Every structure is written in C-alpha cells, then in structure tokens.
Amino acid sequence: MTFKDNLTVEAQAIFGQMEARYNEGNVIAQKAVDEKRQLTAEEEAKVKQLWSEAADLKKKGDEKTALADIGSGLDKALNAPVYKHPMGDPDTKDAENASIASPEVAAERKAFDSWLRRGKDILPEEAKALSRLTDPAGGYLCMPQMQSTILTKRDQVTQIRQLCEVITTSKDKVIWPAWDDDWDMNMMGETVAFTDETDDTVLGELTLTPHKAGRVLKVSQELLEDQDFNLEQKIAERFGYKLGVLQEGMWIKGSGIKQPEGFLYAGITNHDIGTATSGVIVPADIQDFPLLLSPQYRTANCRWIIPTATLQQIILLRSDTGGAGTGVFMWQPNFQSGKPPMIGGYGYIEVPATSWPTIASDGHPLLAFGDLSAYIICDRVGFTIQRLIETYALNDQVGFKCRARFDGRLSDVNAFARLNRT
C-alpha cells in the first residue's frame, strides 16, 4: 500500500469507531426522547461519554483524511508562492520540482543539514552553498522543503484557517478594505441626485502588519551528532505545531497590540447577547443565536466557535419541544469525512481552553457564531532559523530559534456575534 492508501484505511477505521460510539449513545438517548422524559443521571453520563468520544474520533478521522489527500502530492496542496525560494532567486526550483532539483539545490539542502548539526564548522563549499539563504536579520531562511513541513504541521493544528481569507505577502504591511457598519442600497428616481445618508457606511481600511512570533528548541550535542534521524524534519514539525497552536489562539482572543486582533475582541459588542445565566446555556440560546446575524451572513461558511467547556454542555442539550429538556438533541454527528458535526444546523469548531479567554466570571464569552470568511489572515512569506551556541553551552545543548510573522483582523463586524456569561 502507498502512504496515501494506508492513511485512507486508517481514517475509514476511525470513522467506523466513531459511528459505533454515536449509535451506542443514540440508543440510550432516543429512548428518553421517545418516552418524552429527561435522561437519568446514569444515562446522561453514559451518553455524554460516548458522544464525546465520537466527537474526538471525528477529529482524528478528518486529520487522517487530510493527510491522505496531501499524500505524495504534499507540496501541491499548499500555497505555491510560499514555496518559491524565499529570496526570490529565479534559478531555484520550487517544491513542485523538488524531485528533479538541480545540483545547486541539492548541495544547498545538504549544506543546510550540515549547518544545523555543526554550525560554523561546516566546510567552505557548504558555507558558499548557503549564501542564498542568508537572512539580513541573522540566521538562514528555511529551505523550501522545511517550509513545507512547517506549514503541513501548522495546518493540522489550526481549524479556523481553512474558512478564513488568507493573504500571503512579502511586504511589511498590507491594506485591506473593511466595513464599519451595515448598510443598504436605495431606490432612486430618474433625476434624483445621489446623497450621503446618515445610515450609509464609509468603506474603511484594515492595516495588516505581520507580527513576529518565535520559538527556541534546544537539542543536545549527542543528538546533533546522530545521523540516524532527519534533524531538519524534527525541528520543522515541532515549530509548525507550536506555530499552529499560537495562531489559533491569536485569531480568537488576540488583543491587536503587537499581535493579531482576535474576532472575539474586534468590535462585535453590538451583537452580544447575555442570556447564559451563570454560564448555563439553554436551548433558546442555540436556537435564536444565529438569527442575530442578517440572513446574508448566515452562509455555509458560518461556524459555531466553542470552547471545550461550553461544548460539554451543548452536547447533551435538548429542545423544549414536548416539554422542557425532553425534545431532540441539538448536537448531531456527521459521518462524512471533512464535514463537521452540527449544532442547530451549523458546523462547529472546538477550541481548547488554552486558546479561549476565561469563562469563569460574568462578561466573558461562552461561544461565538459567525462567517469566518470575514476574518483576514496575513502570512509573511518565509521562516527564519538561527543557531544559538553560547546560550546553552553549559548544558551541552544547541538552541534553534525559529521565527515567523503573521497577522489577522476582522474585516466586517456584522459577520459575528458572541454569547456572554451574565
């Protein structure tokens, strides 16, 4: 079997386990629905366990499917501009042609691995081969293959990116249009002049400035001397993972000061509602909440953005049809690969506690809902890596400082709403 085939088989097995867990819980849940009663404490605990396991298996299955789709065509699945040589050298092959790389590119990659392991002690010809990767700010720009690994690992971690508008730039600043308020077109008579009306909005601007983010990885000298593993890949995978976790959190709760502005704090306060008393969500919160957005914003791109603590409440939430808390369950699974489970007819993205603001006190958001295509992500092309020797020398370690730049802003405040605890 090929790499892709193996992953596909694994994904199918995981989806089978998910369906079995859901069906087992559904037998218990459906009995209560048919009898128009609430679940007993024992039943509730069992169903919650089974459906939580089903939701986790769904995420794992989708990850395996995504990797299978990438398969042997890994580089083709990613943004081509990112894989061009970071310094814009027209003679350097991009990742799509890596299998037929020129001798110069092969020498560059070999020299890069030598530099990771030995630093300044590389051979003169290796130092020459790396000259095109030199970053004016210090260190070296990552090889295209290393960038591919970083981005692949990053994208496995981030769920929001797939639904947002993404800009890749080599500039230090990007200007993007934004809407400050909602507005309507007007009917006009044949000879009536255009006028500026008080309810018409002005097209504003967003300034996206890729902010710096970094991570230092420490590696022992013994591991650096060991040729039995791919050091470049291990560093790239770890950096990509940490970058993905950081970005997901910033796009949700970033302050906008020396970091992206998360959509929870991007001026959507006029769309808040606060009916979740003491953090307890009721069916009406879920049923009515999407209606806070105008119909044109309630598209297939809309998602619930829900922290794990809130999802644990919602997964057993039932409508009040036939009696309080005795109707149908509002969380519904989706056994299709790549398709999210549904809550009230819309998919959701589960957010770990580390990427969500605190919800322990009043005034803090319990969940959000909106059209993620209104959120703009700006990625600065290229990653930089520096080798730190003296800092960790006493512990016989070498540090690798990896750096990336990115930003994010909400372009239309009308596209989101959030539910606050009261």
For residues 123 and 362, the model is more confident at 362
Mean residue pLDDT across the chain: 76
pLDDT score for 372: 92
pLDDT score for 42: 92
pLDDT score for 378: 93
Structural domains for the chain? 140-422 (3.30.2400.10)
| Cα distance between residue 241 and residue 250, in whole Å | 15
Strand ranges of the sheet holding 365-371, from the earlier edge strand across to the other edge: 273-276, 416-421, 365-371, 302-307, 346-351, 342-343, 331-332
Average pLDDT over residues 100-114: 61
260 has a pLDDT exceeding 90:
yes
Percentage with pLDDT > 70 across the chain = 72
| Cα distance between residue 55 and residue 334, in whole Å | 9
Contact 47, 29 (CB under 8 A): yes
Average pLDDT over residues 45-53: 90
pLDDT score for 227: 62
Helices 231-253 & 103-118 angle (0-180, nearest 10)? 80
Contact 165, 256 (CB under 8 A): no
Amino acid letter, residue 153: K
For residues 153 and 120, the model is more confident at 153
Percentage with pLDDT > 90 across the chain = 13
pLDDT score for 193: 74
77 has a pLDDT exceeding 70:
no
Q: Which residues contact 100 (CB under 8 A, 6 or more apart)?
A: 93
Would you say the C-alpha torsion 232, 237, 239, 240 has a positive or negative sign?
positive
78 has a pLDDT exceeding 50:
no
pLDDT score for 286: 85
Q: Residue 303: beta bridge partners?
A: 370
248 has a pLDDT exceeding 80:
yes
381 has a pLDDT exceeding 50:
yes
323 has a pLDDT exceeding 90:
no
For residues 126 and 14, the model is more confident at 14
| Cα distance between residue 238 and residue 233, in whole Å | 9
Containing H/E element for 275? strand 273-276
pLDDT score for 92: 39
For residues 288 and 194, the model is more confident at 288
Measure the CA dihedral 340/342/345/348, to 10°.
-70
389 has a pLDDT exceeding 90:
no
Measure the CA dihedral 307/358/255/422, to 10°.
90
CB atoms near residue 22 (< 10 Å) = 23
Model confidence at 108, in pLDDT bands (50, 70, 90)?
A: low
pLDDT score for 50: 92
319 has a pLDDT exceeding 70:
yes
Q: Which residues contact 180 (CB under 8 A, 6 or more apart)?
A: 201, 202, 204, 413
Model confidence at 285, in pLDDT bands (50, 70, 90)?
A: confident
